[in-house]
Chain A
Amino acid sequence: MREDTRRDAVWKFLGYAFVLLLVVLMMVPIYWIVVASTLPEQAFLAAGTDPRLIPGTHFLSNLEALQSRQGVNFIRSIGNSVLIAVVYTLLSLVLCSMGGFAFAKYDFRAKEPIFYTILATLTLPIQLLVIPLFLMISQMGLTNSYWAIILPWAANPLGIFLMRQNMKQIPDALLESARIDGATEFQLYYRIALPTMKSSLAALAIVLFLFQWNLFLFPLVVLEQGKYTIPVAINQIVGAQRVYYDQIMVAAALSIIPLFLLFIFLQRQFVSGILAGSIKE
């Protein structure tokens, strides 16, 4: 018996040590970004001989250097990213919730074939559709417009899957009684389905926002100066002849910190959002 409790204590110790080690490893790069963005370049580039782990006072001057840079207006790219991600998320939420409602609550002849076709595209690395999409976008005259990045992924297969799964939980009796009271089918969706789906919609919204926020390859191909999103703008700074790391660190901090705060704040929804898609069926 005593042998057992001692062994348990060892397991607990190992468990905590392992988790804490991982927590530290996960946090180091993030903490380092914050610190580096407040230091002059020479200070954090010398990390190999003299690492600084306390924030300095150079944040604003680094930011100024970043902003005065030719060709990349970083603050503007933050605005671009936010605008694109918000419009994309809203549009996609409408499309996915309407489609999910149709799949969850109606029977129609083409239901199964359409649904399984959509599901099948979930396993494709969709970034690989960049070539035909690029041709189509330029044919439509949408190159260098926000729509070029919003439209192609607005019909999100994962989104429709999540919405269908969740909307199946709405009781049919509820919809039926509203129908008898004279509600139109659209009112059923708008006045009953949407309000009851608030938390799933929030979860999906976070997943969609993060997805759009991180898109890189396609924006890199179709966007030009002035319309750059954050990833493209940062890549523009990295790929230049002489790399100014102080500017990069400010840019990285500005792009990472707000999302982290949002994530910590909405963590519960995010978790349930991932889960709804992963478990069962």
Chain B
Amino acid sequence: MSVTSQVGERVDAVRQRARSAVEPVLRAGVDAVRPVRQRQIRYTRDLADRSPVSVSVPYLFLAPFFVLFTTFLAFPILYTVYLSFHNYQGIGSATLLWIDVGPIDFQLTRIANLEYVGLANYQRLLGDGLFHNALANTSFILFVQVPLMIGLALALALALNASWMRFKGVFRTTIALPVSANLVAYATVFLLLLQEFGLVNYVLTGLGLPRVPWLSGGTQILGPLAGVLGDGFWPRLSLVLAVTWRWTGYNMIILLAGLQNVPTQLYEAAEIDGANRWEKFRYVTLPQLRPVLLFVVVTSTIGTFRLFSEPLIVSEGGAPLRATRTLVMYIYNMAFQQFQLGYASAMTVVLVGIVAVLSVVQISIGGDDDA
């Protein structure tokens, strides 16, 4: 008992000593801090006096962009969703809100006269053969064109990245040149090149190959595959060729930049380990290039889903619609030729949903699970 009280006293004494040693320092510290603190308070007050400018500066810089962004991008996205539950009855003019105070005269009117139909538009999609057909055409282009183009672009980027390759700048420019071509102009040119008696078939027959019905379609030449590929195969392939021509160089440039960012030490290390060409590609290049490849795949997928001018022109030039009609073409047709804006909006929502799902899938497959 006495032992514990003795210990307690000693502890108290130590505490006391410590406190008396620390206290003046603390007090001095507080005194030292006080003027700084006061200066800070004064500064903040000054700021408050000078503001609202100071605080709102970033918002002011952002405002012009943000106003246009919400008006023409964010609002239309929400409005598309809203429209997809309605049927369109014409342009609206009903006044919803009218503020008229001297200089301010603000009038909010309803953009369109609409009738609420619930999920009817979406139900109609399920049974619409033309929609399914357009979806199938777009998928064909997606699964044939995107791998073909990215394969080509990657091979080109690897070749142009090789140390022994000369005239890199010239090659890069000529291969990327088509990206600057006017969409409608190049589509028209492809239409002419792929005519039955056009230049492409001239070259093919010159090589002893059969004449291909690029635009008109048909199952000649396909042989046993005819039943599987159908007579829309050649027109769809024409679209694939045109799109590939235009975008390969663009993707090559992006991949080339990705390749140049791969540290050379990694290749040296792989060489010391005795890796051959394929192993270096498989275990160094591909993993290092993954984020860039992912970017290319996602943007190409989005690009496929907005194909419009190429198929439009190819179809007007004689290709059968059911072979080349893409989703955006069908949406355009519904919206602006038949004026079924609600139904077209529902298709748009579904399309955006598909693109979003595909992007997420691609990102999760190619994403950074750094193995």
Contacts and interface: CB of A to CB of B under 8 A. Distances in A.
Interface of A: 11-12, 15-16, 18-19, 22-23, 25-27, 29-30, 32-33, 36, 44-49, 51, 94-96, 98-99, 101-103, 106-108, 110-111, 114, 117-118, 121, 123-136, 138-139, 151-155, 157, 160, 185, 189, 210, 213-214, 216-217, 221, 230-232, 234-235, 238-239, 243, 245, 248-249, 251-252, 255-256, 259-260, 262-264, 267, 270-271, 274-275, 278-280
B175 A22 contact: yes
Interface string B177-192: 1111111111011111
Interface stretch (B13-21, B35-43, B246-254): B246-254
A98 B64 contact: yes
A15 B185 CA distance: 31
Contacts of A23: 171, 174-175
Contacts of B71: 136
A98 B316 CA distance: 43
Interface in B225-264: 245, 248-250, 253-254, 257-258, 261
Contact of B309 (A96, A98, A216): A216
A83 B251 CA distance: 29
Contacts, number: 294
Contacts of A217: 308-309, 328, 332
B239 to A, nearest CB: 15
Contacts of A30: 177-178, 181
Instruction: Classify chain B's interface size.
Output: 35 or more
A132 to B, nearest CB: 4
8 contacts: A15-B165, A22-B152, A27-B174, A106-B57, A125-B355, A214-B182, A234-B182, A274-B253
B316 A121 contact: no
A256 B181 contact: yes
Contacts of A256: 180-182, 185-186
A121 B192 contact: no
A49 B188 contact: no
A239 B337 CA distance: 15
B182 A230 contact: yes
A16 B186 CA distance: 27
B257 to A, nearest CB: 5
